[in-house]
Amino acid sequence: METVLIFVETKGEEIKKASQEVLSEGTRLAETGRFAVEAAVLGPVSPNLENAIALYADRVVHIVDPLLDSYTPEGYAMALADYARIASPKMILAGATQTARDFLPRVAVLLECGIASDVTAARWLDEPITVVRPVYGGKVLTEVSCDGSPFIVLTRPNTFDITPPVRQAGEVMERPASLTPGSVKTRLLKKEEKPRGKVDLTEADAIVSGGRGLKAAENFAILEELAGVIGGAVGATRSVVDAKWRVQEDQVGKSGRTVSPKLYIAAGISGAIHHIMGMDTSKTVLAINKDPNAIIFNYATYGIVGDLFEIIPAMTAELKKRLGTSEEASGGS
Amino acid sequence: MNIVVLAKQVPDPEALIEIKRTGEGLEMEQKFTTSLFDEFALEEALRIKERLGGAVKVITLGTGRAVEVLRTGIAMGVDEVLLLEHQAFLDGDGYATALALSRAIARGPWDIVLCGKQAVDDDRGEVGPMVAQLLGVPHVGSIVKLDIADGKAVAESLVDDGRVVVEVPLPAVLTAHKGLNEPRVPLVTGVMKAMRAQIPRATPEDLGLAANQIGLAGSRVRIKRYVAPKKRSQVQFIDGDAQAAAAEAVRILMDVERVI
């Protein structure tokens, strides 16, 4: 049987959504009877979390080392590559988060193996394994395959369905990384995390994005409210970020983030190609724009021609009614 | 301070790209530009040099139009350029490309390598971290702020759930994100100089590389074919006044698409 090694990321006491997806896909691979699934988790992780990961894998390898207490590309790359040399997996899988895309290229160098970053579909059972990667901002897709193993594949968040684990929990083993002191030269000085409860853009199931049609920074409050009701994140176009209405992290598009949520609501966005490149793999797109000829409608599943300042609050109110959150959200009035 | 910038000429984002009928290649509208993130890398390198002295060298890999990014660099004010020009360098995966570039960097003195966080054609984002690993140095990815002092780089970097400030000793590789700076527009005198400039070239042999280590032959990952992305079907407009359209949209998203 061949081994699939999955790099798992955690946040607090939870498995990150991007990792849950890949673990779910791992479970499906295990069901074919052709693969054993190993999950590698690095740095400080609680026993409860180890056990939660074990529900998805035949084995959880918790790699520990003082040098892994905070993320560094060098430390993570060495630790994961060292373990991969022992496990000799056929493939190493991870969600294409910023972290994974940051350090796994280094792992590919250490293992002298192939890597495909930001994959949107995979045929694991093909020989050789074939995966699909968008290039030129998604204008074209490439089918790529890899000579030799392991093949490192990073899949874009929201590519696979998350399914609750139904298998017997695998074993958990701790393994020291034994990194040489001085081998990690990167030092973390400060970490500014997003406020609690904020959903990360790339992992979000729903995104409400605003463009210049929002007219002013403070008007994004109506998008925040809609996003809050559906548990989504707020995105923005380049011009809005350049006007400093929103921070760089919120930018969706060629020079910002590439997102692929189940629902993408584009409000007051004209649909410049730079923006489309960042959201075109979203499942359902609802565009709201005053201009019936706005390009965004060419890339939308549904469109509403009208004033977003009327439509967005009306949608929020309707959703509150249907989701039963009206009391909480009315702020005691 | 010796700064090397890795930069790439890419098809303009507006350029039309069509897949050849057999799927084995692409037809490209001949509109090219500097890869967006590489412009930030070029600008930052020049700013470091203006502050601390030293020299900036731009390296690129490719044939034909590839050289244009070097002329852009010269026009902006860099001191030196190098073109890795040979058929054998072409069509490599991230690894094969990073190998050639890292050898080219190692030929001269360098303290800092700056490059874009990804080239906006292949969209891999692999070369920066790979070059760092091949050179045995740390890297900081997707930076939006950079301070160089006392042989160290302190960089602010965009990560999944926020921002981090990271310190690395030099030499190091840094990959640029939008937000790092506003790239300058070259002066006419710079453009004139760039047009006249002789472009130094290096072959695989010059870098001590065999043909099977680089380009397509040296790649572990290969493109088997190109396919067109699935087109979304025609947009369905939701009519009615704001209230009615909003209610209908919510109904569709919850009951039909089930995405809420």
Element of type H or E holding A73: helix A73-87
Band (pLDDT 50/70/90 cuts) for residue A332 is very low
Mean pLDDT score of chain A: 94
Give ipTM to 2 decimals.
0.96
State the pLDDT at residue A330. 43
- Contact between A263 and A230 (Cβ < 8 Å): yes
CB contact under 8 A, B166 and A188: yes
Tokens of B29: 């509208």
Size of interface A-B (CB pairs under 8 A): 258
SS3 helix, strand, coil % of chain B, rounded to 5?
Answer: 30, 30, 40
Any domain includes A191: no
Closest-approach residue (CA) in chain A for B17 = A139
Tally of domains in chain A: 2
Q: Is the dihedral of CA A157, A264, A262, A318 positive or negative?
A: positive
CB contact under 8 A, A251 and B235: no
Evaluate if residue A265 carries a pLDDT over 50. Answer: yes
pLDDT tens for A37-62 read: 999 999 999 999 999 999 999 999 99
Indicate the domain borders of chain B: 2-213, 230-260
Span A272-297, mean pLDDT?
96
Among B18, B120, B220, B252, most A C-beta atoms within 10 A, so best to mutate, is B220
CATH for B2-213 is 3.40.50.620
Span A303-328, mean pLDDT?
90
Closest-approach residue (CA) in chain B for A193 = B162
Any domain includes A190: no
Report which DSSP code applies to A90.
Answer: S
A156 and A15 housed in the same domain: yes
Closest-approach residue (CA) in chain A for B24 = A142
Span A121-143, mean pLDDT?
95
Q: Which of B126, B163, B241 sits opposite A115 (nearest CB)?
A: B126
Query: Which residues of chain B neighbour A72 with C-beta distances below 8 Å?
Result: 138
Evaluate if residue B1 carries a pLDDT over 90. Answer: yes
Any domain includes A197: no
Query: Which residues of chain A neighbour B169 with C-beta distances below 8 Å?
Result: 185
Element of type H or E holding A270: none
For the domain that residue A277 is a member of, what is the CATH number? 3.40.50.1220
Does residue A144 sit at the B interface (CB-CB below 8 Å)? yes
Residues 6+ apart with CB under 8 A from A129: A90, A91, A122, A123, A145, A146, A151, A153
A159 and A306 housed in the same domain: no
Q: Which domain holds residue A242?
A: 206-329
Q: In Å, how far is B120's CA from the nearest CA of chain A?
A: 6
Span B123-136, mean pLDDT?
98
Nearest residue to A43 via CA among A170, A184, A158, A164? A184
Task: For B201, list phi and psi in degrees, rounded to 5.
Answer: -125, 155
Band (pLDDT 50/70/90 cuts) for residue A199 is confident
Does residue A74 sit at the B interface (CB-CB below 8 Å)? yes
CB contact under 8 A, B163 and A311: no
CB contact under 8 A, A98 and B159: yes
- Contact between B169 and A186 (Cβ < 8 Å): no
Span A252-276, mean pLDDT?
96
Q: In Å, how far is A333's CA from the nearest CA of chain B?
A: 22
Evaluate if residue A320 carries a pLDDT over 60. Answer: yes
Q: Which of A73, A187, A315 sits opposite B129 (nearest CB)?
A: A73
Span A211-228, mean pLDDT?
98
State the pLDDT at residue A325. 66
A171 and A212 housed in the same domain: no
Among B10, B26, B131, B161, most A C-beta atoms within 10 A, so best to mutate, is B161
- Contact between A211 and A267 (Cβ < 8 Å): yes
Any domain includes A51: yes
CB contact under 8 A, A118 and B245: no
Q: Which of A143, A254, A300 sits opposite B120 (nearest CB)?
A: A254
Chain A (22-61) residues lying within 8 Å, Cβ to Cβ, of chain B: none
CB contact under 8 A, B129 and A273: no
Query: Which residues of chain A neighbour B19 with C-beta distances below 8 Å?
Result: 140
A162 and A211 housed in the same domain: no
Q: Which of A108, A283, A322 sits opposite B130 (nearest CB)?
A: A108
Any domain includes A186: no
Any domain includes A35: yes
Any domain includes A210: yes
CB contact under 8 A, A99 and B160: yes
For the domain that residue A121 is a member of, what is the CATH number? 3.40.50.620
Among A78, A80, A115, most B C-beta atoms within 10 A, so best to mutate, is A115
| Proportion of chain A above pLDDT 70, given as a percent | 97
CB atoms closer than 10 angstroms to residue A177? 19
CB contact under 8 A, A304 and B158: no
pTM across the whole model: 0.95
State the pLDDT at residue B36. 96
Nearest residue to A251 via CA among A275, A230, A229? A275
Query: Which residues of chain B neighbour A287 with C-beta distances below 8 Å?
Result: 235
CB contact under 8 A, A249 and B125: no
Report which DSSP code applies to A169.
Answer: P
A156 and A46 housed in the same domain: yes
State the pLDDT at residue B161. 85
State the pLDDT at residue A166. 78
A14 and A88 housed in the same domain: yes
State the pLDDT at residue A196. 64
Task: Classify residue B116 as left (phi > 0), alpha (psi -120 to 50) or beta.
Answer: beta
A157 and A225 housed in the same domain: no
- Contact between A41 and A115 (Cβ < 8 Å): no
State the pLDDT at residue A171. 97
CB contact under 8 A, B129 and A103: yes
Burial class (CB in 10 A: 0-12, 13-18, 19+), A333: exposed
Domain boundary among A176, A195, A227: A176
| Proportion of chain B above pLDDT 70, given as a percent | 100
State the pLDDT at residue A200. 87
Q: In Å, how far is A37's CA from the nearest CA of chain B?
A: 23
Does residue A307 sit at the B interface (CB-CB below 8 Å)? yes
